[in-house]
Amino acid sequence: MSRRTQENILAVVLVGILVAVIIVSMGYGPRSRLVPVPVAVFSLVLVIAQLVVQNTSSPDDLHVDVLEVLTRRSAREGLQDKARASRTSTATAHPPGTRARREVIAFVLLAVLLGLVLLLGPIVGIFLFVLGYAATIGRLRWYSALGLSFGVSGVLYLLFVVLLNTQMYHGILPGPL
Amino acid sequence: MIAAAVTGLLALFTPQSILFMVVGVVYGLVIGVLPGLGGIVAMALVLPFTFGFQPAAALALLLGAHAATVWGGSITGILFNVPGAAKTITSVFDGYPMTQRGEGARALGASAMAALLGGIIGAVFLVATIPVVRPLMLALGPSEYFMMALWGLTIIATFSEGSVLKGLIAAGLGILVAFIGMDPITGTARYTFGSLFLLDGISFPVAMIGLFAVSQMLKLFVKGGSVVEAQADAESSTVWDGVQDTFRHWWLVLRSSVLGLWIGVLPGVGASVGGIAAYAQAAQTSKHPERFGHGAVEGVIGPDATLAATEGGGLLPTLAFGIPGGESMAILLAAFINMGITPGRQMLTTNLSLVFTMVWIIVISNILTTVIGLLSSKTLARSAKLPARYLVPTVLAVCFMGAYATHGRIGDVVVAAIFGVVGYAMDKYNFSRADFVIGMVLATMIERDLHISLTLYGNTFIFTRPVTLAMFLFILFTTALPIVRRSLARRRAAAEARDS
C-alpha cells in the first residue's frame, strides 16, 4: 500500500470520527457543546483540506516534520533534514515488507502484555512478558532472561507495592482459580 | 525581612530537616524518571508521611521531592524521548536529538544547570516581588486566563509553515479528547457512551505515557538497535559543556525564569503550559530558530529554567491567598492545613520566617538535585545505548505499571496501550504529538474560562475588560510578528538573489 493511500485512509477515518463527534455533540445542551462543536467543525475542515492537499501535492510533501510547528524552519529545510536523516539511517532501515511485519509483531506484543496484565495482574503479567520477550525475541539465555524478568518485576514490586503502597490489581484469572 | 530570612534558614539546619530533604530529592529524582509520575504524584504519595513532624522537616520532604521531579522528568525525555511528566514534554524536542548525535551528557548538564539557576532565580524573584505581584494578581479574572490559553494555542499556528494543517488537526483532536468525561460546567457526561470509567475523563499522565513512552518503544522495536543509532557519533560531549552553555545563554535563563515565575503565580495555569510557552519564547527570540527541534541547547535550557522557576512562583498565591498555583500547590495546601498553618495575609507578616524556610528549601533542594544530577549524568547518558531487547520490555513494563499506579485503575493500562498505538500512528504519519498534548493541556482552561467570562461579563467581554483587550491585542501582535518577519526575510532573500 502506497504512502498516499495510507494517508488517505487515515484522513477518511479522521473525517468519520469528527463527523461522529459533531453528531453526538448535537445531543448535548447548548453550553456543553459550545466549545466542542466549533473545535470539531474546524478540525473537520482542516482534515478535508489536508485530504485535498495530500492528493494534489508531490509524495515528498506528505513527509512533514513534527517540530516545524514549533520552530520557524521552512518546509524546504524540513525536507532537506529528512533527506539527510534518511540517508544516514539507510544502513539500519528495514525493507517495507519486513517493516510491516515488525509493526504487526509490535502491536501483537503490546496486546499480549495488556492481556497478561488484565488476566494475571501487573506484577505476574510483567514477569511473564519480560521472561517470554527476553527468551524468544531478545534471544537471551534462559538464566539471563529469568534474571531480567525477576529484576524488572522485583524492582517494580519494591517501588510501587512496598515503597509507594499502591493497591495492586490481581487480575481476572486469580479470582476464579 | 533579613531576620526572617535567617530564621527561616536556621530552621532547616536540624538533622531531621536535612535528612528529609536529601530523601525527598532522591525520591523526587526516581519518581521523575518514571514515565507519568510527576511532581504531583510524588507529593501526593509522601503527604501521609509528613504528619506529626516539624513544619520545616515536612516541607523539606514535600518541596524537595517536588523540585527534584522537574529535572528527573527531563532525564528520560532527553535520553529516551519519553518525558517523565506532562510538564517536561519539551525536553524531548531538542534534548533527545542531542542524545541521538552523541551529546546526551551535554544536554543533561545544560538541563540540570538551567533548572538550578531557574529555581534560584524563581526563589529570589518570589521574595522580591511579594509586594508588587499582589495587586497585579487581583486584576486578573477568568477572561484574562482565557486569553492566556488562547495565546498558548496560537503557538501552534504562529510557528508553522507547510505542516500547519496537521499541527492544527492534532491540536483539535487533543482538545476533543480532553472533553471526554463529565463536563465541569453543566455536569453533562460527554463522549462517555455510558462508561463509568470514562466519566472521569482521559487521565493526562496516562495519555502521555501512551503517546510518548509506549509508542516510542513500539517504534524502537520496529527499528531495532538502540535509542542512539549504532552509526551515530559516540558520546562527544561532557556535562561541563552543558553547564557552560547555560552560562553562555544567561539572558535566556533569566527571561525563562521570569516567565516561569509569572506562570507559577497564575493560579490554575500549570507548569505544562509553562514549559511549552518557554520553548516557544526560546525559539521565537533565538537568532537561529531553524536549529530548534534538531538539538538546539537553548531548547533544553529555556523550558528547564522556566519549570524550576514555577516552584517559587506557585508558592506566592498559595501562601498569600490560599489559592493554589497548581495541583502540586493544592497538595501543599493540604499539608499546611494538617500542620495547623493557615495561608493568607499572616503568612506574609507573622509567619514570614516559614515562607523563607520554603524559599531556602527550593534553593537548597535545587542545588542538591543539580549536584546529584551532574554526578550521575555520564552514567545516565550511557543508558541510551542499551539495546532494544533490554529496553523495550523494561520500559513497557514500567509504562504499564506507571499507568496503573497513576490512579490505581486497571482501565488506565488499556488507555495507555490505546494511546501507544495512536501515538505510533501519529508519529508515522507526521501528526504532531506535541500539538496534541498542547490541545489537551489547554482545552479545560479554554472551556472553563470562556464559560465563566460569558456568564460574568457578557458576550462582549473581550472589549469591555481592558486587561483582556490588551492581552487580545498582544496575541494578535505575537501572531502577526513572525508572519511579517517571514515575509520580510523572503523579500530580503529575493532581493539578494536579484543582486547576485
- Top-confidence residue, A96 or A62: A96
Residues B426, B190 contacting (CB under 8 angstroms): no
* Average pLDDT of chain A, as a whole number: 80
Q: Sorting pLDDT into bands at 50, 70 and 90, what band is A89?
A: very low
Q: What percent of chain A has pLDDT over 70?
A: 75
Identify the band that residue A65 occupies on the pLDDT scale cut at 50, 70 and 90: very low
Beta-bridge mates of residue B387? B226
A169 pLDDT above the threshold of 80? yes
| B7 CB neighbour count, 10 Å cutoff | 14
Query: Tell me, what's the pLDDT at B255?
Result: 87
Judge contact between B408 and B104, C-beta under 8 A. Answer: no
pTM over 0.80: no
Q: Which of A2-16, A133-147, B260-274, B401-415 has the weakest average pLDDT?
A: B260-274
Min distance B216 CA to chain A CA atoms (Å)? 11
Whether chain B has a CB inside 8 Å of the CB on A24: the answer is yes
Among A14, A47, A67, A167, most B C-beta atoms within 10 A, so best to mutate, is: A67
Relative to beta strand B189-190, strand B181-182 is antiparallel
Banded model confidence at residue A63, pLDDT cuts 50, 70, 90: very low
| Mean pLDDT within A39-51 | 92
More confident of the two residues B325 and A99: A99
For B140, the grid coordinates are 486578573
- The band of A47, judged by pLDDT with boundaries at 50, 70 and 90, is very high
**Secondary structure E strands in A1-42:** none
Closest Cα in chain A to B233:
A88
Mutate to test the interface with A, among B229, B400, B486 (most CBs of A within 10 A): B400
Task: Say if A161 is an interface residue toward chain B (CB within 8 Å).
Answer: no
Query: What is the structure's pLDDT at B35?
Result: 60
Of B168, B222, B394, the CB nearest to A152: B394
B401-418 exposure pattern, b = at least 16 Cβ within 10 A, e = fewer? bbbbbbeebbbbbbbbbb
- Per-residue model confidence (pLDDT) at position B173: 92
Distance CA(B455)–CA(B336), nearest Å, equals 33
Cell of B445: 482552561
Mean pLDDT on A66-81: 46
Residue A87 pLDDT level (bands cut at 50, 70, 90): very low
Q: pLDDT value at position B49? A: 67
- What was the pLDDT predicted at A108? 94
Residue A40's pLDDT is 94
Q: Please give the DSSP secondary-structure letter assigned to residue B162.
A: S
Question: Cβ A92–B224 below 8 Å, yes or no?
Answer: yes
Element (H, E) at B402: helix B388-407
Assess whether pLDDT exceeds 90 at residue A22.
yes
Measured CA to CA, the distance from residue B426 to residue B219 in angstroms comes to: 11
pLDDT of residue B161: 44
Phi, psi of B34 (to 5 degrees): -75, 125
Identity of residue B434: A
Residue B194 zone, left/alpha/beta (φ > 0; ψ -120 to 50; rest): left
How near does any CA of chain A get to the CA of B344, in Å?
32
Instruction: Please name the member of B190, B290, B417 whose beta carbon is closest to the beta carbon of A73.
Output: B290
Q: Do A106 and B221 touch (CB under 8 A)?
A: yes
Q: Give chain B's residues under pLDDT 50.
A: 158-162, 230-232
